[in-house]
């Protein structure tokens, strides 16, 4: 599977793709499934309720957001690979605001993320080269299915980096 080019998705996603190493993307997603789960499970209840500034998400909300985004990105890959042409965007702030992540424990949220990623990996592994090269429209911009896999990994890495730099100091 080839690394996406700049024209394979909206420029906004380039920052996520840049965070992904050159290992095979499905292997990267598999490794992240476990390491992200382990990371969240290593945190205390006190840490999980922490937000580094007023108006910022708690660690629980970040974990929930990662699962929301995982579902959204995977649905895009699935729908576009099946020739669904256009899908709406999603407002991650509204999703988090209307969710109940802070009423749950972090280990439960981590387990949900891991389960969603595992299910998505079955679908992603079954995509053909032709399906990976299909271009759809999400949030008003063109996006190739192949690039969605890198965006999934990069988005996750982005948030883990923020957690480590701003939350766990």
Q: What is the 3-state secondary structure (H, E, C) of 58-74?
A: CHHHHHHHHHHHHHHHH
C-beta of residue 77 within 8 angstroms of C-beta of residue 25? no
> How many CB atoms sit inside 10 A of residue 58's CB?
19
Give the pLDDT confidence score for residue 169 in this predicted structure. 79
pTM for this entry: 0.96
Domain ranges of the chain: 6-167
Digitized pLDDT (tens) for each residue of the chain, 169 residues in all:
889 998 999 999 999 999 999 999 999 999 999 999 999 999 999 999 999 999 999 999 999 999 999 999 999 999 999 999 899 999 999 999 999 999 999 999 999 999 999 999 999 999 999 999 999 999 999 999 999 999 999 999 999 999 999 999 7
pLDDT, position 85: 87
- The CATH topology of domain 6-167 is 1.20.120
Question: Alpha-carbon distance 56 to 63, whole Å?
Answer: 13
Which pLDDT belongs to residue 13?
A: 95
pLDDT at 34: 98
């Amino acid at each position: 599977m080839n690394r996406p080019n700049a024209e394979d998705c909206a420029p906004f996603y380039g920052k996520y793709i840049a965070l992904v190493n050159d290992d095979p993307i499905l292997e990267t997603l598999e490794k992240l499934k476990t390491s992200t789960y382990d990371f969240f499970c290593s945190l205390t209840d006190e840490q999980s309720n922490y937000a580094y500034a007023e108006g910022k998400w708690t660690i629980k909300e970040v974990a929930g957001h990662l699962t929301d985004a995982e579902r959204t990105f995977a649905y895009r890959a699935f729908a576009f690979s099946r020739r669904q042409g256009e899908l709406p965007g999603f407002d991650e702030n509204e999703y988090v605001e209307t969710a109940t992540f802070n009423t749950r424990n972090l280990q439960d949220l981590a387990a949900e993320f891991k389960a969603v990623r595992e299910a998505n990996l079955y679908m992603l592994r079954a995509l053909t080269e032709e399906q990976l090269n299909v271009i759809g429209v999400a949030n008003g911009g063109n996006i190739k299915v192949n690039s969605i896999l890198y965006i999934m990994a990069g988005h996750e890495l982005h948030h883990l980096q923020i957690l480590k730099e701003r939350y766990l100091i």
